[in-house]
């Protein structure tokens, strides 16, 4: 029964990307999270080549295994972190990217800015919904998440434009292309 419950829980969250590289934290003087949102740091410049990247642990929250808990890696306030990952799509297809963040979030897909929401909020999975086009093969994802204070987390999943399961996807941390 326990194994079956674990498999059911994994199935509920299998669409979430949990394999990420992280860079940060980044700060600038006394700039708060709202100001940091618009300041480009090394991951946004020159393809992130000047940034230092490392794997971030996934599944640190047993009740919410899809959450990437940034505060466990970079405790503190008024800062920014970047996540980098890749998703493989068997075909070129339209998709919906559903994002949850605590606090603000910017997302680039294949080098193109596709979403920006400069907010102070608690993470609510799938709160931001963005229609995107995935190309056949590897699709690069760069995410910037700001931190005001308190907890700091992020989650992202791809689904069909109607919210259903998107077949033929797999994720890798970093830039797999």
Q: Pick 7 or 92 by higher pLDDT.
A: 92
pLDDT in tens, 86-105: 999 999 999 999 999 999 99
pLDDT of 116 > 90? The answer is yes
Q: What is the DSSP letter of 171?
A: E
Confidence band of 64 (pLDDT split at 50, 70, 90):
confident
Question: Do residues 139 and 95 lie in contact, with contact meaning Cβ atoms separated by under 8 Å?
Answer: no
Task: Please give the backbone phi and psi of residue 105, each rounded to the nearest 5 degrees, phi first.
Answer: -150, 140
Tell me which residue of 7, 14, 84 sits closest to 44, measured CA to CA: 84
pLDDT in tens, 151-171: 999 999 999 999 988 888 999
pLDDT of 14 > 70? The answer is no
Cα(13)–Cα(76) distance, integer angstroms: 28
**Helix/strand/coil for 9:** helix
What pLDDT score was predicted for residue 115? 98
pLDDT of 6 > 90? The answer is no
What pLDDT score was predicted for residue 55? 93
What pLDDT score was predicted for residue 59? 74
């Amino acid at each position: 029964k326990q194994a079956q419950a674990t498999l059911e829980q994994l199935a509920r969250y299998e669409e979430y990307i949990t394999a990420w590289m992280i860079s940060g934290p980044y700060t600038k003087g006394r700039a708060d999270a709202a100001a940091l949102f618009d300041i480009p740091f090394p991951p946004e410049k020159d393809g992130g080549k000047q940034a230092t990247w490392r794997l971030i642990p996934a599944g640190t929250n047993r009740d919410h295994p899809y959450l990437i808990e940034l505060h466990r890696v970079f405790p503190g306030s008024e800062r920014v972190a970047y996540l980098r990952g890749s998703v493989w799509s068997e075909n070129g297809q339209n998709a919906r990217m559903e994002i949850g963040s605590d606090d603000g979030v910017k997302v680039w897909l294949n080098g193109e800015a596709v979403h920006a929401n400069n907010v102070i909020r608690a993470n609510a999975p799938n709160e931001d919904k963005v229609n995107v086009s995935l190309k056949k093969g590897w699709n690069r994802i760069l995410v910037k998440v700001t931190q005001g204070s308190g907890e700091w987390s992020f989650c992202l999943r791809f689904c069909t434009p109607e919210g259903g399961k998107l077949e033929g996807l797999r994720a890798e941390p970093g830039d797999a292309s």
